[in-house]
Structure 1
Amino acid sequence: MVVVRDEEWLVRATEETADGTLVHVQGLGELVRDTRAAFYESLDAVTALEPAQASVVADHSPRYRTARLWLESTIRKTAVPLGERALSVATRGLADALSYQQSAVRRALDPDNLRPRILLADAVGLGKTLEIGMILAELVRRGRGERILVVTPRHVLEQMQHELWTRFALPFVRLDSAGIQRVRQKLPATRNPFTFYRRAIISIDTLKSDRYVASLRKQRWDAVVIDESHNLSNAATLNNRLARLLARNAEALILASATPHNGQKESFAELIRLLDPSAAPADGELDPAEVKRLVVRRHRHSPEVARVVGADWAERQEPHNVLVPATPAEDAVAQELAETWLWPGRGGSPYSGQNATLFPWTLAKAFLSSPAALQETIDGRLGRLGTDDQAAVEQRALQRLAELNATTLRTPSAKYTRLLAHLREIGVGPGSAARVVIFAERLETLRWLHRSLPKDLGLPAEAVELMHGGLADDEQQRIVEAFKQAHAPVRVLVTGDVASEGVNLHAQCHELVHYDIPWSLIRIEQRNGRIDRYGQQHPPRVTALLLEPAGDRFAGDVRILAKLVEKENEAHTALGDAAALMGRYDVKGEEDAIRAVLAGSEELDDVVRPVAEVAAGNDLTALFAQLFDASSDADPTPTATDETRTAGAAADAGGTDPGSGLYDDDVSYLEDALQQAFIDPTAPLAGQGVGWRRDAAFGTVELTPPPDLVQRLEVLPQSYLADRRVTERLVLATTAARGKDRLAAALRDDSDSTWPDAHYLGPLHPVLDWAADRALAALGRNEVFAVRGTVDAATVLLLGTLTNRRGQVVSAAWLTAEFPVPDDPSFAPINPYGSAREALQALGWGTRRDNPGAVPDLDALQALVAPAVRAAERHLATVFKAAEQDVARRVEEWSRRLDRWEHEAGALVQRDQVKERRMSVAQERAMVEAMAPDRQLVRPLLVVVPESGSGGVKA
């Protein structure tokens, strides 16, 4: 704690800048209680309170409530040390306790990495968003998550925001188009918008704009998350420029992608460099050991996953491929395509453009999608034709094709007719709750289906929703959220591949239809993953509709596409990575290869290799497949350990952060804080209360937030504030079981909101932070409480911390200094404890205690504080030496890695890219050096005397 401008502040972090030390603080005094600030030591007098001079005061409150609250709040505000391997809050959100997810969190927080940097490359459906939430929760609890930026595709902004808030109580301000407008209205034009909110979530399409580069360059982040990070690997793109800028200015970096590489070493090396610029050698070669250190990759059937997901992820049914015989009108179009465009005779193709082999297959692909898509393709090409003779030939051919296609537009489509029959078979129709998601590539196909399905299925217009990339971000989010809600009228979601990445569609749906089949295994896998993912309670079924013309050659092409669906299913089961079969790791590359197969220049078995061959191979494709298969090299850190089970049980019971012990659960702590702060918490706000109600039977509590809490709640998701009106009445679920129930109920009720009506009171909930700040204000400047306990002599409880130049806690120690000889305060044996819980139990504070009255002889007890602090400092000098050496060892190893990289880069110094990497490495070196411990602090927290009195201490 420090005093600045005659006010007392709690230090949250420190930062070394070009202008000196910057101290980030939160106010404790009455005037600054809800204020966060930052002070430069060069501009303000920042005075640290001297622990040895702390004053001892008596606690008069019933059952020592004031002291208990102050002590508990101090413990909660003390960051978990960086080197702590056990998870503290990650296991206490509303995520199921899955060992494979927790092992990913431990990998990210491994102290040997110094900085949390990781690529979460788990296959589709394993819960990368939950892994992100758990990592961020741990960073916050360890004092490394003050400023966080999350970057996602725009259509999953609300989904990511929803998961982080509802499951981990991490509020992020969503800066979509509406959110950015709100910020602009609040800020002057010259103000950096990224300093306004501490935690923000924004789309990559918005953030990569030139207008934000200058502001981002000046902003440092404790943690940055970039979802769908495979879009960053091309060094020539704006996405990559943004990622490099954020990576340099962030301590922790979390990248997430189910398709983390495109088969090219240089592209994948670019992702590795973002995480650690020294991990990829300057020459661009990949180091398998470094990749394994920085990348986590598992799939549905990896042993680590398969043994824990159980019934919470129903096995996918066998693919349901439906060959639909074409109508005579469609056969006529297929014949014209085959004879004139795909396999023309002696006269050659009528196409007059640059790539004569590509456009005919564009026509074929459109035809296999829908007559509407083919018409749109024909019209688009006609509009671009020139006036030369060859263009005239092509125009006549296109017009002839358009005339044939016009007939198909006027007559029932065979594939559409079969789609209607299939939808009725699975129960989609009036009065039914059955849902289905239909994927198609072409926008005209989507629009045609969207227009036709409501009437032909007997459904109202709102029962069929259309989602595509041309919609505004908030409209895309609205559609996705509606599809998740049981009461929403939507029954059919017609969507393009904008919904194939990152969107969860399995809450109410287990049926998926490929109305057309992508010529890419990657895209098929991504689509299927929308309903085939963890949490799916019904065996997901994937149906593919394939139009089968009568002509042999075209029919053969259709069967090739059907085999793609089957191949994806085989790879899903055996490898968890369909991209490995083709080895191109890129949608466009796969489409080009399949086009070559359809054209007859390649064989399918040469382009799409057998699963067994990929698994046993030793070429580059197999190397990547093995490199990302964590099942063969399981994380040595314990997974389903006693620690995990204990943490899970504590979460279900609403347990407190490990190391406390003063309160049984978070709600008891909150209730005590309200009892302390208000005359009668159950009274209404005007009656100097908060209308507190606790329903233990249902596991909920309610309160009316007072103005200082309302101010803190303003950073919660705007749609949550609007839907649940929590600034007027806040309802909280007090157990994980109740929290999960209300979260699931939000998808079933008729409230038009996916936000739960009772938010889980997790350990990071802002209301608990508010309660802690109020409790910390109970003591005056540099004071500690005197209380009674089960001790034989006066004893001082102390907390020792070792911090680095960044103000982060490297190591912590809980101690008691005992004064067994009344006449000799200089004799103070030190007793160390493994946690605050152990120390408090030893003092008799493991349970609530009666307070018979204020402890007397405070002057005598005051004389014990300085000797206790000095004795503790001497003891910790030895204890912390080992921690200092451990960190110094890791810093030295990291420095050697940087030295090695710079040595290897010496011969390539003239290359521009290497010059830029040198800058990143230099920043890495400065950050690593700041991780070294540089200061030790001992704080007295409590003076405990025997039950009979003051402990016989003489002044």
Structure 2
Amino acid sequence: MQNITFQPGSLVSARGREWIVLPQSSDDTLHLRPLGATDDDATLIYLPIEPGPVGPATFPWPTAEQASNFAAGQLLRDALQLKLRTGAGPFRSFGNIAVEPRAYQLVPLLMALKQEVVRLLIADDVGIGKTIEAALIVRELLDRGEIIRMAVLCPPHLCEQWQRELKQRFHINAVVVRSTTANRLERGLPANQSVFEAYPFTVVSLDYIKSDRRRDEFQRACPECVIVDEAHTCTFSGQGKQKRYTLLKGLAEDTSRHMVLLTATPHSGDEEAFYNLLGLLHPEFRELKDIPSTSRKPLREQLANHFVQRRRPDIEEWQDRNVFPERLSAEITYKLTGDWGRLFDEVLDYARDLVERAEGKGLLQQRMSWWAALALLRCISSSPAAAVNALRTRLHGTAPTDNVDAVEVELTLEEAEERGRERVLDGVEDDLSTQDIEPGARTEDGARLTELIDRAESLAGPAKDPKLKKLIDHLKELTEAGFQPVVFCRYIATAHYVADNLRTVFRNHQVTPVTGQFTPAEREAAVEAMGEAEPRILVATDCLSEGINLQNLFTAVVHYDLSWNPTRHEQREGRVDRFGQKAREVRTTMLYGQDNPVDGAVLQVILRKAESIRKELGVLVPMPDDQGKLTQALVGAVLLRKGTTTARVPQLGLDFGDPELSIDTAWTSAREKAAKNRTLFAQRRLKPEDVLPEWQKTLAVLGGEADVERFIKRVAQQLGAPLEETAKGTATHWKLHASSLPAAVRERLEGEGLAGTLRIDFHQPPAPGTQFIHRTHPLVSVLADFLLETALDYASIEADTTLDAVARAGAIFTGAVETRTTVLLVRLRHQLTVSHRGQSRLLLCEETLTVGLEAGNESTPLEEASARALMTAEPARNMPPPLRDQHIQRALAQLPGIQPTLEELARARAQQLLEDHRRVRVASDARGEYRVTPSLPVDIMGVFVLIPA
């Protein structure tokens, strides 16, 4: 029985190979990772029954036989660096993510790491990257061992997007928990075990979890870290929102739970809701609502540590001016001419009749007639197809159908109001999947309706529909200028009508309609399939204004139907104009009827006012519309008294007098509140100089996009499969012919599902139809593994391998040095002990260093950047192999004398690592302790000698 205790980070020899001991090992059980591999390849050895001996191992030094050309030495350095998963930089997580965050996206992470328990409200503009910012925090807490479970709470239509982002970019495999998946996930679990205990990572629909029974179960089994997306939808009044708020308030009461709240509109015009949101961070922050301004300063300063809000212009100071494109906005108009204008006027008269005839009837009948009238105005303004569907659909609410005798469903007053707000106005923003169905407007006026339907049908097509003709003309301009447009419509029928007509005109374009008829997965698949086509036009309803990012495929947005909610316009445009858009210019266009009174009222009173406030304050301020009543009054002015702007809406029981004035007053109030809050909560923002050094240190340790690109191109060239550059439209990408690679590499790639010709890109966002190759992509791992095995163990490599691809030793004549210089590639391993909140964890950190030693001054290494630059030195002339081997042998003979210098370097790097971790993870109450111990001796991976030319 062995009595040796192996420390984490030490090397052992077992089963005929070398391994690194991992932190979770004990006296009896060793968790081991093969030398040069990742934690995914780890295995477990139970010492009492292990048949062979397990003993300490030392890393073998290079030999002259392992020499090759100098480029092969650079490949060894890149392979070592890109294989690191537990890098020794200030952040633990960056070796485990598949995205290279921009420096400004590190601000929330650094703010979070300053807190003992993370409580953060991230209120950045649409499209800046809140998902990445939140997931970075979670990944860092996971890799520091501070949490082991996590849940994302989000509106139902965002579940798949969160699941995909966590998996693809952060290697977190989460399950979606909603009514359609919960039974399957619960099947086979013990009776007393919750889904949230069985699955460590979950994405949970807010609508599923808010019911009393499920809420109680979730609160009992809730993970120690929660992200809440669209957090402002959990603090409004209303029964559904109230349940959501009750859920979050209960979760926040556990003071040890990490919570990250995300919203682009923290202040939605509802003061109570805004301070409820702040109260989730800390109960004291709710008091800011009532504290006199003279007494607020201490609490405001405390809040600044928990609240981050950046606008697009705020990003410019981060040396990131090219992150976002320039957005050029335009307006185009059409006129209600000829037969179409006459039909519009008759529909308007008919809608007015509907309302007038309902006077004196029951309240439900009055409200149904009111919503039917508004529906007709909305649908006739949208398209002939939407108007036909509205006129054909029973007033009492069957789904749109050609069967005019469809079964009626009698609605309650409350249901009628909810359906009207959803389908006639612009619905609620956290459930857009079913709100693009045309509302019903059919009454008992059989002959009159039949005539209106027939006339609407006869006016379809660009020859008689001036709105559609204007769209086609505008799309011709956009596509000829190279833009890929998305056309947003209000209703399903309009989207299909537009798409059908565009196909006849744009025959060489892929034209695809995507509406709420599709499931979220089908919508995603339909959009993704468009990546194969060039050029392309997407026609969508607002089901795509949230949930699916469009910046990889599209560069223009056309609002075919004006939204009556200004926030929706920003959401539509934010799908295309967002972080990751490669185009330097994005176009957005509003199309409206120059003489359409509905469009005119909405444009002047709602949309233009919203835009002027956004320009003035720099933030989007949602319209303060009391459940749509102001908008109803505004459109009611058009409906009830053509040519005037006053609206008495008896069915509402409200008299708005002049609705324009009422809306203007509400906007003014909202603007003043937003301006006050911008001032009140102006934060002491972290500046670039606070963040960029941490980012640059991390990139230096792990390597970034440029290092990955250089590595893959060089390896492919060395292994006989050089990359082929391909241009498609404006996008450039590369092809890798995997069939030309050595058999050992091909087999491993096939095991990862990578075979044949791979279309790849090295920068985010990748070109359509390509794979983004990041440092954690299987292609990088497979090639780096293969090179390291080739370098470390010739005997295990097949005969067809190109052995010159990688080298552990080399020597050249070069003009890059003035004195004989030895460059060592070394790997350092450190044990990092973290004591935090009463627990101690042992973590393993690794880094690859390039150490330059000039002859006669070996005790003082060159600066690391200078040494690394020497690895790219160009040979001045050929060096005969015997002379090369002689220089290498001489350098190898000096290694024993250099060991003290290397060990001193390892201790200095351990101290630097300790300082890095203490600096970025400072708990608010100063609890938490770090210790770093270097694992010695230092591994010498490569020896390269540079001789002055």
Supply the distance in 1 between the matched residues of 2:942 and 2:492 (Cα, whole angstroms). Answer: 77
Q: 1:803 aligns with which of 833, 836, 852?
A: 833
Q: 1:123 aligns with which of 122, 125, 132?
A: 125
The aligned runs of 1:467-616 (5 Å cut-off) are 467-483=514-530, 486-487=533-534, 490-491=536-537, 493-505=538-550, 512-533=557-578, 535-538=582-585, 540-546=587-593, 555=597, 558-580=600-622, 582-583=623-624, 599-600=647-648, 601=656, 603-608=659-664
Match of 2:489 in 1: 440
Supply the distance in 1 between the matched residues of 2:265 and 2:330 (Cα, whole angstroms). Answer: 23
Whether the 8 Å CA contact 1:817–1:868 is kept in 2: the answer is no
Structure 2 residue identity aligned to 1:102: A
* Residue 523 of structure 1: how far off its partner (Å): 1.5
Match of 2:67 in 1: 63
Supply the distance in 2 between the matched residues of 1:340 and 1:773 (Cα, whole angstroms). Answer: 74
Structure 2 residue identity aligned to 1:638: E
The aligned runs of 1:233-312 (5 Å cut-off) are 233=235, 256-264=262-270, 267-268=273-274, 288-289=300-301, 291-302=303-314, 304=316, 309=321
Residue 396 to residue 468, structure 1, CA distance change in 2 (3 Å): closer
Whether 2:107 is the aligned partner of 1:106: answer: yes
Whether 2:86 is the aligned partner of 1:35: answer: no
Match of 2:80 in 1: 73
Residue 350 to residue 34, structure 1, CA distance change in 2 (3 Å): closer
Structure 2 residue identity aligned to 1:443: I
Match of 1:374 in 2: 390
Q: Does the residue aligned with 2:311 lie in a helix, a strand or coil?
A: coil
Supply the distance in 2 between the matched residues of 1:114 and 1:303 (Cα, whole angstroms). Answer: 27
Per-residue CA distance 1:250-277 (angstroms, 9 max, x = gap): 9987655433453445645666677x56
Whether the 8 Å CA contact 2:105–2:129 is kept in 1: the answer is no
Residue 59 to residue 434, structure 1, CA distance change in 2 (3 Å): closer
Match of 2:770 in 1: 755
Supply the distance in 2 between the matched residues of 1:448 and 1:883 (Cα, whole angstroms). Answer: 59
Supply the distance in 2 between the matched residues of 1:557 and 1:792 (Cα, whole angstroms). Answer: 75
Supply the distance in 2 between the matched residues of 1:397 and 1:165 (Cα, whole angstroms). Answer: 54
Match of 1:764 in 2: 776
Q: Does the residue aligned with 1:324 lie in a helix, a strand or coil?
A: coil
Whether the 8 Å CA contact 1:319–1:569 is kept in 2: the answer is no
Residue 400 to residue 145, structure 1, CA distance change in 2 (3 Å): farther
Structure 1 residue identity aligned to 2:470: H
Structure 2 residue identity aligned to 1:406: I
Per-residue CA distance 1:615-644 (angstroms, 9 max, x = gap): 6x3x3x3334456777xx653233997998
Whether 2:356 is the aligned partner of 1:337: answer: no
Residue 331 to residue 943, structure 1, CA distance change in 2 (3 Å): closer
Supply the distance in 2 between the matched residues of 1:879 and 1:396 (Cα, whole angstroms). Answer: 77
Residue 815 to residue 521, structure 1, CA distance change in 2 (3 Å): closer
Per-residue CA distance 1:380-415 (angstroms, 9 max, x = gap): 348245999xx9xx9976668745643543442699
Whether the 8 Å CA contact 1:446–1:495 is kept in 2: the answer is yes
* Residue 521 of structure 1: how far off its partner (Å): 1.5
Match of 2:467 in 1: 419
Whether the 8 Å CA contact 1:816–1:831 is kept in 2: the answer is no
Structure 1 gap segments, 5+ residues each: 96-100, 550-554, 648-655, 676-680, 683-690, 747-753, 822-828, 896-928, 949-955
Per-residue CA distance 1:521-580 (angstroms, 9 max, x = gap): 21222223344555454552422334957xxxxx37842445433234334433343425
Supply the distance in 1 between the matched residues of 2:228 and 2:620 (Cα, whole angstroms). Answer: 23
Residue 278 to residue 324, structure 1, CA distance change in 2 (3 Å): same
Match of 1:905 in 2: none
Structure 2 residue identity aligned to 1:803: T
* Residue 329 of structure 1: how far off its partner (Å): 3.5
* Residue 476 of structure 1: how far off its partner (Å): 0.4
Q: Does the residue aligned with 2:310 lie in a helix, a strand or coil?
A: coil
Residue 339 to residue 622, structure 1, CA distance change in 2 (3 Å): farther
Match of 2:675 in 1: 622
Q: Does the residue aligned with 1:938 lie in a helix, a strand or coil?
A: strand
Whether the 8 Å CA contact 2:152–2:227 is kept in 1: the answer is yes
* Residue 471 of structure 1: how far off its partner (Å): 0.8
* Residue 417 of structure 1: how far off its partner (Å): 0.4
Per-residue CA distance 1:54-97 (angstroms, 9 max, x = gap): 57655344338799948962795274456469x988999688xx
Structure 1 residue identity aligned to 2:755: T
Per-residue CA distance 1:93-135 (angstroms, 9 max, x = gap): 688xxxxx52232342344246777554332344556767887
Supply the distance in 2 between the matched residues of 1:884 and 1:30 (Cα, whole angstroms). Answer: 25
Supply the distance in 1 between the matched residues of 2:348 and 2:540 (Cα, whole angstroms). Answer: 26
Match of 1:466 in 2: 513
Whether 2:652 is the aligned partner of 1:637: answer: no
Structure 2 residue identity aligned to 1:727: A
Supply the distance in 2 between the matched residues of 1:22 and 1:366 (Cα, whole angstroms). Answer: 73
Residue 395 to residue 437, structure 1, CA distance change in 2 (3 Å): closer
Residue 480 to residue 193, structure 1, CA distance change in 2 (3 Å): farther
The aligned runs of 1:153-168 (5 Å cut-off) are none
The aligned runs of 1:357-436 (5 Å cut-off) are 361-362=374-375, 364-369=377-382, 370-375=386-391, 378-381=394-397, 383-385=408-410, 402=449, 405-412=452-459, 417-428=465-476, 436=485
Q: Does the residue aligned with 1:544 lie in a helix, a strand or coil?
A: strand
Identity %: 18
Residue 478 to residue 857, structure 1, CA distance change in 2 (3 Å): closer
* Residue 426 of structure 1: how far off its partner (Å): 1.9
Supply the distance in 2 between the matched residues of 1:589 and 1:882 (Cα, whole angstroms). Answer: 58
Supply the distance in 2 between the matched residues of 1:338 and 1:117 (Cα, whole angstroms). Answer: 53
- How high is the TM-score relative to the length of structure 1? 0.62
Whether the 8 Å CA contact 2:209–2:215 is kept in 1: the answer is yes
* Residue 346 of structure 1: how far off its partner (Å): 6.6
Q: 2:365 aligns with which of 352, 362, 371?
A: 352
Match of 1:316 in 2: 328
Match of 1:727 in 2: 755
Whether the 8 Å CA contact 2:749–2:782 is kept in 1: the answer is no
Match of 1:751 in 2: none
Per-residue CA distance 1:317-362 (angstroms, 9 max, x = gap): 3433545366333323312322441x66974688537788766545
Supply the distance in 1 between the matched residues of 2:776 and 2:531 (Cα, whole angstroms). Answer: 26
Q: Does the residue aligned with 2:612 lie in a helix, a strand or coil?
A: helix
Whether the 8 Å CA contact 1:597–1:604 is kept in 2: the answer is no
Q: Does the residue aligned with 2:396 lie in a helix, a strand or coil?
A: helix
Whether the 8 Å CA contact 1:446–1:494 is kept in 2: the answer is yes
Structure 1 residue identity aligned to 2:569: I
Structure 2 gap segments, 5+ residues each: 1-8, 292-298, 399-407, 417-440, 639-646, 649-655, 727-732, 794-807, 812-818, 835-839, 876-883
